[in-house]
Amino acid sequence: MHFIDYYKILEIQKSATEAEIKKAYRKLARKYHPDLNPNDKTAEAKFKSINEANEVLSNVENRKKYDKYGKDWQHADEFEKAGGRPRSGGQQQQSGGFAGGGFGGDFSDAGDFSDFFNSMYGGQGGGRRQSAKYRGQDLNAEFQLDLKSAFTTHKQTLTVNGKNIRITIPAGVENGQIIKIPNHGSPGANGGPNGDLYITFNIANDPKFKRDKSNLYSTHDLDLYTALLGGEVVVDTFDGQVKVKVAPETQTGTKIKLKGKGFPVYKKADQFGDLYVTFNVKLPTNLSDKQKELFREISKL
Residue 112 lies inside a defined structural domain of this protein: yes
Domain boundary among 175, 203, 231: 203
Domain boundary among 113, 130, 147: 130
Q: How many domains does the chain have?
A: 3
Q: Residue 176: which CATH number? A: 2.60.260.20
Residue 96 or residue 296, greater confidence:
296
Is the pLDDT reported for residue 285 higher than 90?
no
User: In this structure, are residues 145 and 169 in contact, taking their beta carbons and an 8 Å threshold?
Assistant: yes
Residue 1 lies inside a defined structural domain of this protein: no
* The residue type at 17: T
pLDDT of residue 95: 30
Question: Is pTM beyond 0.85 here?
Answer: no
Domain of residue 251, residue span = 210-300
Residue 258 lies inside a defined structural domain of this protein: yes
| Three-state DSSP state, 241 | strand
pLDDT of residue 173: 95
Q: Does residue 115 share a domain with residue 196?
A: no
**Angle of the 18-32 helix axis to the 41-57 helix axis, nearest 10:** 160
Domain boundary among 130, 152, 172: 130
Tens-place pLDDT, residues 102-123: 333 343 343 444 444 454 444 4
Q: Does residue 152 share a domain with residue 97?
A: no
pLDDT of residue 137: 85
Q: Does residue 103 share a domain with residue 28?
A: yes
Q: Does residue 97 share a domain with residue 15?
A: yes
Q: Within the chain, what is the greatest distance between any pair of CA atoms?
A: 106
Residue 226 or residue 86, greater confidence:
226
Q: Does residue 115 share a domain with residue 191?
A: no
CA terminus-to-terminus distance, the chain: 91
pLDDT class of 80 with cuts at 50, 70, 90? low
